[in-house]
Structure 1
């Protein structure tokens, strides 16, 4: 923010600071003069000076410490009204930056207060004097020392003042001290002081004081980069001023909000508030604040790239400042105008206003404006191609900017200087300037609080809505009606919820019944109707995908939804035929055969323990699956185990106990886990079981045949669409190893030929 902007904000600080000392004046002239302090201190000065000149000081009617401001005779003024007039006079000189006259007036007010034993007025005058030393003379040490003395005087004079007067003085003392601490970067101390002041403010019950407090604290948070909290405070002050129809403080709040939004680059809101403030100052002919507001509006237009509008407002502000004979303000405005002309490529005009700026800045000795003017002159020289002059002006401007600590100006200067050196082909100095620019930019970025513009707008809207909550209390009748409607809606929703709950309960009950029925149906469907064992009727063409997993994962053998337990990736399969189940029906009839098969199924269910599984494959054939962690285990062990199962069941039953077993492992091909799917593996098992049947025809007793591919068997050998033919070719080529309990040769060609004749 520019130095002129801070100067104007200091003017507003003084206005608001003095508004805290607002009190009831029995003399209308002084009341009017006190009100004009906020927006037109020149007029206030004229009115107060006329009042003091036209009336003579009279002695008080009584010597008690309570002085009555009785001015029925308009040719005289009492000591109390004289002190009040001198205080207003000092405030006006303070706001016009005339510290000598301000101190003289306030000293006179202090002397009269001491002579007339006006304790409250004397302490008030001392507070004003401390504020002048801080605001005009920037002597914060002396100002703080004076505030310490005032604090001691208040403590020792409590018996001479009313309780309300003591609280007001303590509030003013805390506010002045906190403002100084905030300006001198003692943020935590200032914040504590503002919190203490708020306790006294509650007891004062003064809306004007509350508005002043919100604006001052909002400015404090803004100065220290707490933009969200600053927005909250400033909006609170704004809406309070609107509610109490305090137009002067509403205009000040509008200006402060415009500065905040302009700083945060929310130009639409900044322009809205600045326009409202400008309308007030223009309507009441407040020249000084109007000039500053016009400059703010012009700055917003300039940042938006609307240079013609910016020029119009800069010229209007310059006219106001020329009437006020403010050379520093005029110099700053001319500098802004020169910058806009440069943006419009009107170099002669820019040069003209820059020349006037340097003259005025030299006369006033303002280093900030001189530094800014030199940087802008360097930019103009660079645009006109005067590289040497540009470098000279930029370097001089950077030295001045560094001396006054203006980092924004240094950033601009280093960027322009880098470009100038680059155009001069002095790349080394250009690089140095660029590095200094990057260091300054990095430091600035680290010090700034990054807030998104949209988030900032949203927070502003939320704060405004929260501040309007009080309006809801005024709508009690509408709220009562809304509450009545809400009760009806709630009752309706409650009834609707009850009906939905009943329907859901009924639906849940029906779903449970259907689920139980589904479980029974699935149990019946997946269970063999005679043995009670699980069957394989759900084996479908979709099942091979269940085996298509990498060798790094455990293989899961899924057969439809029947065999869905996850097992190891190594499985041993045995398809065994029990011939007595065929013969029992022929020899003993259907009922006896059915009972024996049911008993056999129950027996197998009891004997087979997880993770092994057993399925009823067909009428007399069963599929047995178990994990096989040891692939080198002998197949005759599994055949022996199955034979023992059958033997134990047929013990003392005098029934043929022979069985035929076909065995294989999964993966059938050790080097390719997904080469053989479940259908093909079953085909291999059927081949092995059929071979065991052929062996049993030639040799007595139970027989078994075990097929397994050798370790080096390639997956491509089994890639045809006929796994039986592939297995026979593998047997002939020595890729499939055959183990059997029989001693006779097995003919595999017949099996293959018969396979082709099936239509």
Structure 2
């Protein structure tokens, strides 16, 4: 058997342990032990042994505990969990290459499962039992016989009602059988079994088992020199394990890829993967796989001609094998070291390690290593000039290689023998050896061609399927392209609608915010700070024309246009002064004065109902406007109404209830509606209120003065820049009628002459 085939068989054995991760344990301790199997079987063994020793098995009377796996009581263990612990023990012993202990544990598990009628677990244990015979004892015939019996039991078992459990058992049985057939070089049978197992795997939907399958079939292809197929499967397993963050399987995939690349002479990639695998095995102190990885790295360095690095790694691998006490592996490593020393022309060291190799090979009975050592010994003797001895040794080695049908050793032996005869100047025998070498080489090439033909046929089938898939993919691409366009259009329309909706919502929100701000501004601008009544602010004469125009428009819109009502409406205005508001702060203090003035404002709001309006004109003066309902009544009636308002408020408050009222109508001139504007009307009201105030100083009680132009009063009489002067002149000329609460004559103040001087 060649080095590559031996390496592949070891990897197949290691992969067989992957199935331990497919099972789910509800007992946390056993789940932890199961997870540690691939990284630290020694620690896994300690956990299960402690579990079995610290807990006692539940008695048969505890019927409820027989078939459950959850254990609330930490002092007992159910039969199911006990069987699971024994299974983990057997797997750990198998990984540690202790077959006797492994068989003892698994037989105990089988017996306990059978006693408690745990059919599924019993068949699982039987599968582990068969794996130990193949993996550790190398008894393939016994393993296959056990698998046949297990398959019969699976088919005839009525206790397995869960379809998924049956499929898992059948899958595990097929995978074990496929690995055994592959190791026996039954390539076609192994591939059929792998193909059948894959159908079961699809229904299991287990990503961990999918990784195991890809690595197992990839290793099968590698063992039988189907490198392209092996690369595809191993890369799939590698990336799946990376995706699942399964470091143990990633390390095995790295190791297998390194072996594949080493076979294909892609040494840089082989070294990269082997180094990553070695780091994992060294970190978890896995001596057995670490030794194999170090040997693979050394082989790569040797083929690269980096002999010093090769020796270092061979010696490190030899240290690991010596700790494991595996003489066969130690003999192989010593043979490799002897070959490297031979290439370094260190013949004494070569002879030393060849002697050790032959001694260990004889003890273990390994004919293949003895044959390789004999041919290497003949090559050493030829290089040392011992031609006769070299020819004798090489001929003996060739006879041994032909018995084992090892083609690579026969090729190496015939080449060295030809060189030895040539060195002895026996050219005839040298030519015969060369021809035998060529015949063997042709046989090897024919086998390689046959293998290449099979690979080519497989590639042809794959290419045909690929072309068919490409056509289907093209059609799918066209459909997806059309769908993509429709989707883009739909997405664009949806986005456009969303953007439009967002813009509209944004505009609505901004408009609402601005409306709220506008309402607050109106409230602050048109509300008197103390009384809370609307505050008349229409006298904006000193503003610039543009600001005055916009301010007037805004204020008139808000106030309903105090004067510029429709011409069909006639309004009565009353400007009244409330003296107690001037003295309330002095008498009662600032805080109480504020409270009384606020109460007075709230009171007036409630009492004055539409369409009448009331404005806080100045500190103690209020402007009252009402429609034409009272224009036919005497002014005294409006004055009495206002007096009643004040009396009702000051009742029980011991506050002065006097008021001074100035009244007028709009239009002030009946024959000329637009002759007097709002500013001029307010001036007339102020003049009348001032007259009432002067009368109040002379007479007690509230006083009122009403001014109105006669029907025949011409508008030209009031066409003056000073409405107060024009009004007094109208009174003197009889054009303005004066009504008052007093019978005494009113003295009108001639203060209008100085109005223009007031800044």
TM range (shorter): 0.5 to 0.7
Retained in 1: the 8 A contact 2:368–2:404? yes
Shift of 1:306: 1.0
Name 1:95's counterpart in structure 2: 95
Is the partner of 1:142 in helix, strand or coil? helix
Name 1:195's counterpart in structure 2: 195
Could you tell me how far apart the structure 1 residues matched to 2:398 and 2:131 are? 34
Could you tell me how far apart the structure 1 residues matched to 2:330 and 2:178 are? 32
Retained in 2: the 8 A contact 1:261–1:270? yes
Retained in 2: the 8 A contact 1:222–1:260? yes
Shift of 1:97: 3.5
Name 1:52's counterpart in structure 2: 52
Shift of 1:293: 0.6
Is the partner of 1:285 in helix, strand or coil? coil
Could you tell me how far apart the structure 2 residues matched to 1:7 and 1:96 are? 18
Retained in 1: the 8 A contact 2:255–2:277? yes
Q: Give a deviation string over 1:149-171, Cα, whole Å, max 9, x none.
A: 21111112244342221111011
Cα 1:440–1:40 change in 2 (3 A) is farther
Q: Which moved more, 1:297-306 or 1:49-58?
A: 49-58
Output aligned runs, 1:626-645, within 5 Å.
Answer: none
Could you tell me how far apart the structure 1 residues matched to 2:484 and 2:11 are? 53
Is the partner of 1:265 in helix, strand or coil? coil
2:370 is equivalent to residue 366 of structure 1: no
Cα 1:95–1:485 change in 2 (3 A) is same
2:71 is equivalent to residue 71 of structure 1: yes
Q: TM-score, normalised by structure 2?
A: 0.57
Cα 1:16–1:142 change in 2 (3 A) is closer
Cα 1:202–1:101 change in 2 (3 A) is same
Aligned length: 468
2:150 is equivalent to residue 134 of structure 1: no
Output aligned runs, 1:215-254, within 5 Å.
Answer: 215-254=215-254
Could you tell me how far apart the structure 2 residues matched to 1:81 and 1:325 are? 34
Cα 1:7–1:222 change in 2 (3 A) is closer
Is the partner of 1:334 in helix, strand or coil? helix
Q: Give a deviation string over 1:543-562, Cα, whole Å, max 9, x none.
A: xxxxxxxxxxxxxxxxxxxx
Is the partner of 1:316 in helix, strand or coil? helix
Q: Give a deviation string over 1:205-255, Cα, whole Å, max 9, x none.
A: 111100001111111222223221111111100000000101100010111
Name 1:184's counterpart in structure 2: 184
Cα 1:14–1:297 change in 2 (3 A) is closer
Could you tell me how far apart the structure 1 residues matched to 2:76 and 2:394 are? 62
Name 2:321's counterpart in structure 1: 321
Shift of 1:257: 0.8
Retained in 2: the 8 A contact 1:65–1:117? no
Retained in 1: the 8 A contact 2:2–2:406? no
Name 2:110's counterpart in structure 1: 110
Shift of 1:300: 0.6
Output aligned runs, 1:230-629, within 5 Å.
Answer: 230-448=230-448
Shift of 1:403: 2.5
Retained in 2: the 8 A contact 1:39–1:289? no
Is the partner of 1:37 in helix, strand or coil? coil
Shift of 1:266: 1.4
Retained in 1: the 8 A contact 2:334–2:356? yes
Q: TM-score, normalised by structure 1?
A: 0.57
Shift of 1:12: 5.0
Retained in 1: the 8 A contact 2:160–2:166? no
Cα 1:199–1:61 change in 2 (3 A) is farther
Retained in 2: the 8 A contact 1:271–1:300? yes
Cα 1:286–1:427 change in 2 (3 A) is same
Retained in 1: the 8 A contact 2:4–2:223? no
Name 2:149's counterpart in structure 1: 149
Could you tell me how far apart the structure 2 residues matched to 1:436 and 1:256 are? 35
**Larger radius of gyration between Structure 1 and Structure 2:** 2
Cα 1:434–1:74 change in 2 (3 A) is farther
Could you tell me how far apart the structure 2 residues matched to 1:117 and 1:11 are? 35
Output aligned runs, 1:691-706, within 5 Å.
Answer: none
Q: Give a deviation string over 1:493-548, Cα, whole Å, max 9, x none.
A: xxxxxxxxxxxxxxxxxxxxxxxxxxxxxxxxxxxxxxxxxxxxxxxxxxxxxxxx
Cα 1:448–1:46 change in 2 (3 A) is farther
Shift of 1:65: 10
Cα 1:102–1:11 change in 2 (3 A) is farther
Name 2:652's counterpart in structure 1: none
Q: Which runs of 5+ in 1 are unaligned?
A: 467-479, 489-759
Could you tell me how far apart the structure 1 residues matched to 2:323 and 2:408 are? 31
Could you tell me how far apart the structure 1 residues matched to 2:179 and 2:117 are? 30
Retained in 1: the 8 A contact 2:414–2:437? yes
Name 2:205's counterpart in structure 1: 205
Q: Which moved more, 1:114-123 or 1:43-52?
A: 43-52
Shift of 1:69: 1.8
Retained in 2: the 8 A contact 1:401–1:407? yes
Could you tell me how far apart the structure 1 residues matched to 2:104 and 2:175 are? 24
Retained in 2: the 8 A contact 1:8–1:292? no
Could you tell me how far apart the structure 2 residues matched to 1:169 and 1:447 are? 37
Q: Give a deviation string over 1:398-419, Cα, whole Å, max 9, x none.
A: 2322233321112111111121
**RMSD of aligned C-alpha atoms?**
3.3
Q: Which runs of 5+ in 2 are unaligned?
A: 467-479, 489-759
Shift of 1:11: 5.1
Name 1:692's counterpart in structure 2: none
Could you tell me how far apart the structure 2 residues matched to 1:399 and 1:98 are? 36
Retained in 2: the 8 A contact 1:4–1:329? no
Could you tell me how far apart the structure 1 residues matched to 2:357 and 2:43 are? 29
Retained in 2: the 8 A contact 1:3–1:368? no
Q: Give a deviation string over 1:626-673, Cα, whole Å, max 9, x none.
A: xxxxxxxxxxxxxxxxxxxxxxxxxxxxxxxxxxxxxxxxxxxxxxxx
Could you tell me how far apart the structure 2 residues matched to 1:424 and 1:88 are? 62
